[in-house]
Chains A and B, each alone.
Chain A
Amino acid sequence: MASIPSGANPVAQPTRARRFRFPGIDPVLITYSVLTLIWVYSLIRVEGYRTVDYNLFTLRVAAFLAIVAAGQTLVVLMGGIDLSVASVITMTGVVGGNLITQVGETGGIVLTLLIAAIVGVANGIGVVSLRLPPLVMTLASMSVIQGGLLVYNAGKPVSGQSDFLNYWALGEHFRVPTPVYVLGAIIVLTMFLLHKTSYGRAIYAIGNNPRAALLSGIPIGLVQVATYALCSVIAGITGLLLLGRTGYSSKTMGDPYLLSAIAAVVIGGTSILGGRGKVIGTVGGALVLTVLVNLLTVENIPEAGRMVIQGGLILVLLFAYAYTDQ
């Protein structure tokens, strides 16, 4: 009917391109194909990679990234983004270290994750009630957290020894590194939530069309706040694991994870616009990044080249995913 469609409508989604799509190809297939290619290539090129131990080691490293990326996936599926995950990782590492020393293992861990949840809730409230674009809100909270941390302990590294965390970061069970089990648990949890609960249906609905979701009775405010909270808690788990890995936390420990987590999500076939994607794809994306970086490092490609290749890979995969069926 006669009306001016508003481009500035905060609820309007940028339209997805309508184009020819190859039917029946799941982006996750492409992700894991690329992973296999890179992995096999690295096996061929580097002798040291052919041991089981080395590959298990790679899994361990990838698991840390995959965990935080899984949480990010939930937020992205909902049509948002969380730039504060890196600072949440650092925060939980630093605060966790202190709390564990002061309050004991269990109390420390629980409290730390609670604080992470509060950050997530704050992010959600900013997005829902203040109508801030998620990019801006989580950018702002990232800044506040970074500042808060500096106030908290003036940037000094914090030590917090925890056998529990140590085990889950560095241990092994049936030769499989323990972080992989943590990742497994998180995969099971997120997949269960996304595919078997009303909450998951709400996430996909909001990610595709928040207005229609609202008009179908979905409590979009609550769902968004809950998801940002969940993402932060999962990032907090990563932070605690990182603490467990060395027993120390530093003020930059979370930094590498921000862009990598988003990259893993996108490489894994999840659409940054929301509404499409799978956690298992994100795991594949984390693996791709880890294996790729390992390969490039061993091949002595300088950081410059590594960055260019990563950027190029993202572009190429984006292009490919645009033509797949979802």
Chain B
Amino acid sequence: MELVAQAETVPSSSDAVMTAQPMLQTSGLTKAYAGNVVLRDVSMTILAGEIHALVGENGAGKSTWINLVTGVVRPDAGSISIAGNVAPHLSPRIAEQLGIATVHQELSLCPHLTVGENVFLGKTPTRHGLIDHDRIRHEAERQFRDLGVSIDPNALAGELSLAEQQLVELAKALAAKPKLLILDEATSALDSSQVDLLVQALRRLRDSGTAIVFVSHRMEEIFAISDRITVLKNGEYITTVPAAGTTTADLVRHMVGRDMADIYPPKPAISDLLAGPTLLSVRDLGSGKRFSGVSFELHRGEILGLGGLQGQGQHDLLAALFGLYGLEGGISLHGADLRLRGPRGAMRHRFAYVPEDRKTEGLIVQLPVRENLALPNLDQISQNGVLSRSRERTLVAAMVDKLQIRLRSPRQTLLRLSGGNQQKVAIAKWLPLAPEVYLLAEPTRGIDVGTKQEIYRLMRELTAGGAAIILISSDTIELLGLCDRVLVMYERRPVAMLSGEDVTEENVVHAAVVGEAVGGATVVRISSTATEDPDASVATVASPTVPPRRGVAGMASRLSWLRWLGNLPRAWQDVVPIYGVLLVFAIIYLYLTRNTFGIDTVNNLSAYLFPLFLAAIAQSVIMLTGGIDLAIGQAMSLATVVLATQMYDNPLSMAKAIAIVLIGGGVLGAFTGAIVTLIRLPAIIVTLATSFIWAGWALFVLSVPGGHLPRRFATNFTGQIGGVIPVTLLVLAGAILAWKFVKSTPLGLGIYAVGDNPRGAFVSGVPVRMSRIAAYVIAGVLTGLAGIGLSSYAATGDPLIGAPYSLASISGAVLGGIAFFGGQGQIRGTIAGALTLGLMTQILFISGLSPAYQRIVYGAVLIVALGVKAFASVRIEEGR
């Protein structure tokens, strides 16, 4: 469009912009999801050396634009040029190579990696192929110093506060020394001092020629920082204006197309509301560390907003009111004390909850619309558990009609509906319950303007009918337009309650970023006879701010060992329990073998446990990426029969056979990994199928145990070096060292990252698919090694001998703390887990306990050990 011509005349403090080069140009960019167009024909230009704000309501298309420009998704039409060159195919890696860095709204950090590792994820510095941890630490420290914050690069990202995490995400983008920096809601959790630091950093960047795109809801910030502002509305480009000379009102008018008064339904008189009946009364409400000190009276007909920076406990408060968290303090409904027990209990008291993320929490998108609408109302449409289709039809039709949900038929899958209609379903499904309290978290996120208005109108209809709404919105304008009162939270405590005329952007933002009320606004008082007097202007300073907890700080727990546990470095916390159990078993074992204990005992034990160790380690590597392999045992059987048929009694043949097994293991792993990753089939069933195939193949090679495995090989492998050190122990140590080596390469880091936060790893440029396949290949080689150990111990090839190892390897890994869904756990835990299992079996065997009791104890130990672990981790989480 005409922007390039405009560029020359844009005023800026930097000389560079006078001869401004376009850094990024999008032309006719269009994107649709499932038939719904979210971005239509958007053309705009971002210049070097400018801070360019991108604004628009929820659902205007800003995030989609960012995803397109950073290569996270591909456009359906249109082109993107970077520094004058058209980029035909973008991916996060390519975008990064072209000099684009992003501070994502949905953080791309991996919670179980350190801050330093996160900052350089996808572009990890190496020295001789290994990760250069020193350089990571220095560079990360430097980034933080330049920013003006102090964050420990060795801390785990998951333990930081949300604000710190956003700052790490920022440092990560800056570390890439980008030519184009995009910030997507990067300040939503930052307080005013942190925002200042950010702004300074941005200005420095701009002056050195970087192009910056800044997406935010906060008008103040936008006008303070930006040079130019582009407005998107409903997926379309509206205009680009210089920041100087534009007012908020102008901007809002561009964003919504009309004056605010026309968008939001009129509010009832605040004095009438506050004089009316109280629905819900809350006194000094808290929930552990999530939030505390919340007191308010919710009146019929009222819309109460929860304001404040992101991550200050608002969402937790809403969830707690729906029974999802334990509550301390007083809460009463209609004057009677209330005990909320879970969502069902809340529903029985006529609470409704529309969570923030409709795709993953609010709705079940794979199911038809009809079933989504019916789900909270099953009691109403069924008799004694049996559904009545006719009642369902009537109910569904009523809901669709009431909210004017646009669809082809109620049997349609929810996925095909537009965001706005999906959200309508998320709200409509509660109507038959006739709720009195609606808890709405970001109810208009990602919806078009028209639907938004319908929802606003619905909200007022509901309140007019006697209900009350508690609302969270990160869009300040929306908060102001909708709410009768706003409770602002800061550091997980309320700091201001604004009513009626006091609900202004200035008051809300001030309370949010500074943490105290501007004089004249009421502050919530904590007293047992709390009554709200809207005319009182008591400026009480909020209680001293509590610094956000890092890790597991001391919590007064009845189980004091948990406190000790919590103070350990995080990496060891998870494995202490299993090492404890291991210690117990080791003592029992040593006692049982005290008379015969010697070098040979150790050797025998090592040779016996060797296959299990390696199988469990192999399984762990796969499970780290979120996968699983049910065929490890069968691959081990295959290895034994190959060895038994290929190995003859001369060194060359031995070497060859070993090589075949190791390389073959890698190949089989690559095969499995490719199917799981490239064709995207569930690992559990793919490996069930491959377990059949490997087992059949093994039977094919050798239908009965036998072969000609050289005696010499078997005895040597299970023997000792120098009569003292078991060969198997050495090989095991070698395998562990090899894994440590892999872990210290970018590949190894990628394997952890992919399991920890797959999307985050992807947008950081980690090669996700390759990492997963690599994990399977590594596991395959380890499995081959396990097979070698197994055949040596059995001194034969046996097509069925490995089968029990499939499930045993999973047990060992899980016992040792590898999280079932990936991203968590250390191999040292697996070693303990496998060792525990192995020792347990040995103990049961030596003690003469029949195989029967062995099985029982095996199962019981699994259940008890994992159950205790789950129990303990829930407790630790609660205390966080």
Contacts and interface: CB of A to CB of B under 8 A. Distances in A.
B561 interface: no
Contact of B382 (A154, A198, A211): A198
Interface stretch (A27-35, A37-45, A268-276): A268-276
Contacts of A275: 366-367
A184 to B, nearest CB: 20
B743 to A, nearest CB: 18
Contact of B686 (A6, A17, A315): A315
Given A1-B474, A3-B162, A126 B364 contact: no
A212 B361 contact: yes
Contacts of B371: 201, 204-205
B700 A132 contact: no
A150 B855 contact: yes
Interface string A245-263: 0000000000000010011
Contact of A315 (B680, B689, B866): B689
Report, as a range, how many residues of chain A touch the other chain: 35 or more
Interface in A11-30: 12, 14, 16-17, 19
B822 interface: yes
Contacts of A19: 680
A208 B366 contact: yes
B700 A308 contact: yes
B798 interface: no
Contacts of A322: 679-681
Contacts of B700: 302, 304-305, 308
Nearest to A206: B364
B76 interface: no
Contacts of B628: 135
A251 B820 CA distance: 31
B820 A1 contact: no
* Chain B, interface residues (CB within 8 Å), range: 35 or more
Contacts of B699: 302-304, 307
B421 interface: no
Interface stretch (A47-55, A161-169, A172-180, A213-221): A213-221
A291 to B, nearest CB: 17
Contact of B685 (A132, A148, A312, A314): A314
Contacts, number: 272
Contacts of A2: 105-107, 162, 165-166, 185, 188-189, 310-311
Nearest to A199: B385
A137 B870 CA distance: 13
Interface in A146-197: 146-151, 154, 196-197
Contacts of A103: none
B867 interface: yes
A114 interface: no
Interface stretch (B254-262, B530-538, B807-815): B807-815
Contact of B823 (A8, A17, A219): A8
Interface string B835-852: 000000000000000111
A9 interface: yes
Contacts of B759: 5
B853 A7 contact: no
A7 B624 CA distance: 10
A205 to B, nearest CB: 6
B386 A197 contact: yes
Nearest to B118: A4
A150 B856 CA distance: 10
Contacts of A218: 375, 378
A308 B371 CA distance: 41
B280 to A, nearest CB: 19
Nearest to B342: A214
Contact of A4 (B157, B693, B851): B157
Could you tell me the dominant secondary structure of chain A's interface residues?
Answer: helix
A118 interface: no
Contacts of B362: 212, 215
B860 A130 contact: no
Contact of B376 (A144, A147, A217, A271): A217
A297 to B, nearest CB: 14
B311 A307 contact: no
A14 B703 CA distance: 38
A172 B185 CA distance: 71
A30 to B, nearest CB: 15
Interface stretch (B23-31, B404-412, B713-721, B750-758): B750-758
Contact of B360 (A202, A209, A311): A209
A74 interface: no
Interface string B668-696: 00000001000111101110111111011
Contacts of A302: 699-700, 703
B387 interface: yes
Nearest to B696: A307
B158 A311 contact: no
A216 B166 CA distance: 32
B821 A215 contact: no
Contact of A201 (B311, B374, B852): B374
Nearest to B684: A272
A262 B692 CA distance: 12
A3 B107 contact: yes
Interface in B852-880: 852-860, 862-863, 866-867, 870-871, 874
Nearest to A318: B681
A196 B344 contact: no
Contacts of A272: 682, 684-685
A217 B343 contact: yes
B824 interface: yes
Contact of B344 (A1, A209, A217): A217
B554 interface: no
Contacts of A271: 682
A132 B822 CA distance: 15
Given A137-B863, A215-B343, A315-B686, A308 B697 contact: yes
A321 to B, nearest CB: 9
B696 A14 contact: no
A140 interface: yes
A310 interface: yes
B810 A139 contact: yes
Central interface residue in A14, A16, A140, by most chain B CB within 10 Å: A140
Interface centre among A14, A218, A306, by most chain B C-beta atoms within 10 angstroms, is A14
Contact of B375 (A17, A81, A137, A213): A213
27 contacts: A2-B311, A3-B311, A4-B111, A7-B757, A7-B821, A8-B755, A8-B822, A131-B874, A133-B820, A135-B810, A136-B820, A140-B860, A144-B859, A147-B853, A196-B386, A197-B386, A201-B387, A214-B343, A215-B353, A215-B361, A216-B429, A217-B343, A217-B376, A218-B378, A272-B684, A318-B682, A318-B686
Interface of A: 1-10, 12, 14, 16-17, 19, 81, 83, 126, 130-133, 135-137, 139-151, 154, 196-199, 201-202, 204-205, 208-209, 211-219, 259, 262-263, 266, 271-273, 275-276, 302-312, 314-315, 318-319, 322
**What are the 10 A-B residue pairs with the smallest beta carbon separation, nearest first?**
A147-B855, A311-B692, A307-B696, A150-B852, A143-B859, A147-B856, A304-B699, A144-B859, A308-B696, A311-B693
